């Protein structure tokens, strides 16, 4: 059951990352940075959740991305190699400056997280 659930969640993460990337394909003046960040954030969250489920970790619905990251880091130190602070700051949008740099950072972190969990 957990394998099927984790597989579904990882597919959803891929879809979210694709949506974030598609938004970046627009002319720069038409890109909605918030949408890119939101979709990439959800992708990271889903990649981590799927990874944890694959490894038999029980996930609570209320887990914040910081909690998911700490659980992933406990399983595999490679999650320490990236600075997830921009994504963690996204939990408080007032602290986050939405611009092209932020959007590209979120995409980069989502792609690296996908690599870490073994997707694609």
Please give the chain's pLDDT, 120 residues, in tens: 567 788 899 999 999 999 999 998 888 888 888 899 999 999 999 999 999 999 999 887 767 899 999 999 999 999 999 999 988 887 765 666 788 899 999 999 999 999 999 865
DSSP state of 61: T
Task: Give the SS3 label for residue 59.
Answer: coil
How many C-beta atoms lie closer than 10 Å to residue 2's C-beta? 15
| Spatial separation of the C-alpha atoms in residues 5 and 35, rounded to whole Å | 26
What is the C-alpha to C-alpha distance for residues 25 and 41, in angstroms, rounded to an integer?
Answer: 18
Per residue in 56-71, is it b (16+ CB within 10 Å) or e — as a string? ebebeeebebeebbeb
Flag whether the pTM goes above 0.85: yes
Left (φ > 0), alpha (ψ -120 to 50) or beta: where does 26 sit? beta
């Amino acid at each position: 059951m957990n394998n099927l659930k984790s597989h579904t969640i990882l597919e959803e993460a891929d879809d979210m990352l694709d949506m974030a990337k598609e938004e970046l394909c627009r002319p720069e003046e038409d890109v909605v940075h918030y949408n890119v960040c939101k979709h990439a954030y959800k992708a990271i969250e889903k990649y981590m959740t799927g990874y944890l489920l694959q490894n038999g970790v029980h996930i609570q619905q209320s887990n914040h991305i910081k909690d998911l990251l700490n659980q992933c880091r406990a399983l595999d130190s490679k999650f320490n190699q990236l600075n997830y602070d921009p994504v963690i700051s996204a939990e408080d949008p007032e602290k986050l400056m939405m611009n092209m740099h932020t959007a590209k950072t979120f995409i980069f972190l989502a792609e690296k997280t996908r690599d870490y969990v073994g997707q694609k």
